[in-house]
A and B are shown apart, each in its own frame.
Chain A
Amino acid sequence: MGNERPLVEVMQLKKAFRLGGLHKKEPILALDGISFSMFPRQIFGLVGESGCGKTTLAKTMLALHRPTAGEVRFEGGNIFSYDQRQLERFRSQVQMIFQDPYGSLNPKMRVADALAEVLLKHKQVNAKECAKIIFELLEQVGLNKNHADCYPYELSGGQKQRIAITRALAVGPRVLICDEPVSALDMVYQTQIIDLLEHLQQRKKLTLLLISHNMMFIKRLSHITAVMYKGKIVEQAPTSNLFGEPLHPYTKLLLASIPKMNSRAEDSFPPSITRLVLSEKAQGCRFVTRCCMRLQDCTGAEPSLKPINDTHWVACHLYR
């Protein structure tokens, strides 16, 4: 990546949700100080289990939520200080693909209309060119003219996700945020969508943020991988390093938990970890209740994300 400047920078992003009306509850920190940078044409992978704040991060990065603290910078400018016009320009540069292809398409709108709506908004095109562009876009994602006249319910899950991708690309973005783009799909379609994303990223020189709970999917595509646990990044490294020599106990646990085709449950999985039944407020490191390598310090101070070498960062008291 050399001396290139980062395209997107997330800086100390925090987002708290206040739940419950009458009885005052403590705000829930969905994001607790997230920082990372994405360079042009890079695929940045973000792994974490459900409820760790992945989707909140994606939505905040698109200015759909206002953060409690912190900044997201796009080409150096803080997106939360944008006015309406700058925000519109930002939307034409950064796009998103959603987890649920069933919900992300308007059930009452045909494919062609959904795409035309976007093209007419962002590109100066007339109706005739519009149709031509739509057919080209559909062909790029492996669909054809016939699909233009379909309503979403006439399409399969994989086809819907292709349409969602097409719609995001119709804007002509530089950054594409993919929130669990394959997890709602059957296995056979998953690999097809993965191939498609890889193909499009190379062809359109996109910068990709891939968010998933599926380690294999992240490993397959991303250049840099960050592991998120309860609203914080606990480890970040180039993908091969992270999968080759994981440092954080949580990353190790994640990797060991992946079911593999040539292993059996009794011999492959890590020994069951003692876990507290009811959630208790734990002090110190947020992983301490599940960690099998905990030290004395771990219940004291929260470890911060520190570099081990140039590219490998980890937040754990084991490495100092």
Chain B
Amino acid sequence: MEPITKTFTQSYFRSLFLPLPNANSRQGSFFPNRPAVLGLWLLAVVIIIVFLGPMVSNQMPDQVDLSRTNQAPSQEYWFGTDQLGRDLFTRVCYGARLSLFVALSTAVIVSFIGVVYGGFAGYMGGWTDEVLMRVLEIIASVPFLIYAILLMTVLGPGVNSLLVALAAVYWMPMARVVRGQFINLKEEGFVIAARVLGLSRWRIILGHIVPNALGVIIVYGTLVIPEAIFAEALLSYIGLGVSSPQSSLGSLVGDGLGSIRLYPWQLFFPALFIILLVLSLNLIGEGLREYCDPRFFRQGGNGE
């Protein structure tokens, strides 16, 4: 008797994180997906470097020392120094941390807005859906860069306004995806069954629709991260994002570009980290997407 009484309350939360339906079948497992595993390793290495590296290098990211400007990579300064004599390695580490922080926060904010907006539109359907989607299309028709630049100029540079600008752009595809999921799931047998069984609207949404849409939400949330890193780099590069003395990968690339002829490493190393982060996150995202593919979902459903 114990298991049921206990599980009923616990299980909802567990079901959110749940063994994807095919958990017991060998197909569609995440781990044999080589590129995704490579991505995971790559990301792990980058994160270790970024967080532990500065302790080893023993430099401060904003320590100006005009006696050592523009040095080439050496044993002491692994990535060299910039035009103010700051250790580039440490700056890249701190910059990558900031980029990651911005990207992760964007993904979380975007997922939240997207689920609420898209979910509401998808669940309500009819006129509500029409209006919400037309509004979204109008916003989406403004080119991303113009939109973000406009927001950044209004809000002024800084991490907070960067988050606002990125979230304002990336919630739209997420909302579309969630809406599509909700519309499909709304017509699924078990959701109709739940309506017939007289369950409340919130119970149906939270207990039946969201857990089944979660896989897709996580996948798209993951895929937002590399895009946000890229976008953050772009904005910082054109000087609208993070400003000195803080550094992000984008602003470092921007600084490095000025002296590309003389000191190419000042551009090379931050650019390398952008590439590594975006690549590894993309690989992981694609792996997750494959793992949550609806085809596997169906196969799992027939588990006889």
Contact = CB atoms under 8 A, between A and B. Distances in A.
Question: Do A and B bind?
Answer: yes
B8 A116 contact: yes
A116 B8 CA distance: 7
B211 interface: yes
Contacts of B192: 59, 64, 98, 104
Contacts of B19: 151
B196 A95 contact: yes
B161 to A, nearest CB: 39
A103 B211 CA distance: 15
Interface stretch (B71-79, B112-120, B234-242, B295-303): B295-303
Given A64-B196, A171-B198, 6 more contacts: A91-B198, A104-B192, A122-B198, A130-B5, A132-B1, A167-B193
B126 interface: no
Main secondary structure of the interface of A (DSSP, over half): helix
A151 B301 CA distance: 10
Contacts of B203: 117, 121
Contact of A164 (B3, B7, B188, B193): B193
B1 A153 contact: no
Contacts of A24: none
A153 B300 contact: yes
B15 A109 contact: yes
Size category, B interface: 35 or more
Given A113-B8, A121-B197, A127-B8, A108 B303 contact: no
B189 A117 contact: no
Nearest to A149: B3
B22 A153 contact: yes
Contact of A153 (B15, B21, B199): B21
Interface string B1-30: 101110111011001001101101000000
Contacts of A110: 7, 11
Contact of B297 (A64, A95, A107, A117): A107
A62 B1 CA distance: 34
B211 to A, nearest CB: 4
Q: Which 10 A-B pairs have the closest CB atoms?
A: A103-B189, A91-B198, A104-B189, A153-B303, A131-B4, A127-B5, A106-B190, A108-B211, A107-B21, A108-B15
A168 B192 CA distance: 13
B4 A106 contact: no
Interface in A147-198: 148-149, 151-154, 156-157, 164, 167-168, 171
Given A127-B8, A131-B1, A91 B301 contact: no
A130 B4 contact: yes
B193 A116 contact: no
B198 A104 contact: no
Contact of A104 (B4, B7, B193, B297): B193
